[in-house]
Amino acid sequence: MLICCENKEGVAGQISLIAEALKTKGRIAVLSHNNADGDTLGSCIAACIALQKLGKDVSMIYEEDFPENMSDIRTGHDFYMLLPPGDDSALERKWDAIAVFDAADPKLLGRRAKLLEKAEFVVNIDHHISNYCFGDLNIVDADASSTAEIVYQLIEELGVPLDHDMALAIYAGICTDTGGFSYSNTTAVCHEIAARTLMFGIDVANLRFKFFDAISIGKLHCHGYVANTLKLHEGGKCAIVVVSAATLAELGATGEDCEGLVNIGRNIVGVKVSMFAREVRPGEFRINLRSRGDVDVSAIARLLDGGGHRSAAGCTIKAAPSEVEAILLGALREVCN
């Protein structure tokens, strides 16, 4: 499905409108979503580099440290602005435009959502069908493999030649959001764009190791916990794991160590839906949902005030650890019955 929120001529026309609008802006803030992955980070970095090359005063404002496996794409540019905990003074700065990448809902911006409230002009670029189209100009292309794929097209429309650092960021976004070109969102288009990025000498083997294979001791312990506690429901078609903050501390693990663990359940023969719940604050759980496409997990996520794609989605719920499993099963049954 394809959504272009304002421009009925399609994605190409909307990209052209956004490119022309950004060319008229001087000071631009670029925002990733919290709990950042390779797509939102790669999209923001590539866009920032391109806008700087056009002479723009651009800042990538974020409020969480980069995940360790994304350290290679945080190249040596001067546009990074980490929002200090408890200090919102940076949010008072005036911008000519705010550009948001890969965030379906302003809630995913955390404290930075405040920037949207007083923004003169907001650009919203995403590939999640659940996007709220909260920008003055929006591109929501659910046919795109990743937001980075759309950003690549935007950079072309801006007339900025691709360089190594932009290519690295674009590759990271496409590669991670397609599961190393193995998920159902992998297309000929994303392969073509990835091929162009590789012309800049990207070390694919090193990146893929960091993105998918490298694990910490904490993550190794998490693998053991998942193997020992995973529960199968609905005749073996649904796998659920719930991990509390206290358990994570006992395992010597962090939230970052939990990335990708939902796929363990998804990979079990016979499982159609995998659910992984991690306590991020007392009584608050971040939920990752995966399927092989037989069940639309974005519909499950929407019931719980989240969103995503048919095969990969997420949400946040407030509940006691003992209640999480029942809440998730209830949402699954509501969608499937």
The C-alpha atoms of residue 232 and residue 209 are separated, in whole angstroms, by 30
**pLDDT score for 9:** 59
Q: What is the mean pLDDT of residues 138-164?
A: 97
Residue type for position 127: H
Please give the backbone phi and psi of residue 99, each rounded to the nearest 5 degrees, phi first.
-115, 120
Q: Which helix (H) or strand (E) holds 279?
A: strand 273-281
The C-alpha atoms of residue 19 and residue 51 are separated, in whole angstroms, by 10
Using alpha carbons only, give the angle 125, 129, 131 rounded to the nearest 5 degrees: 55
Of all residues in the chain, what percent carry a pLDDT higher than 90? Answer: 86
Kindly report the pTM of this predicted structure. 0.89
Q: Is the pLDDT of residue 246 over 70?
A: yes
Q: Is the pLDDT of residue 2 over 80?
A: no
**pLDDT digit string, tens, across residues 190-206:** 999 999 999 999 999 99
Q: What is the mean pLDDT of residues 36-58?
A: 97
**pLDDT digit string, tens, across residues 224-240:** 999 999 999 999 999 99
Q: Is the pLDDT of residue 329 over 90?
A: yes
CA 319 to chain CA centroid, Å, is 24
Q: What is the mean pLDDT of residues 31-54?
A: 97
**pLDDT digit string, tens, across residues 257-300:** 999 999 999 999 999 999 999 999 999 999 999 998 789 999 99
The C-alpha atoms of residue 3 and residue 141 are separated, in whole angstroms, by 6
Contact yes or no for 94/27 (Cβ under 8 A): yes
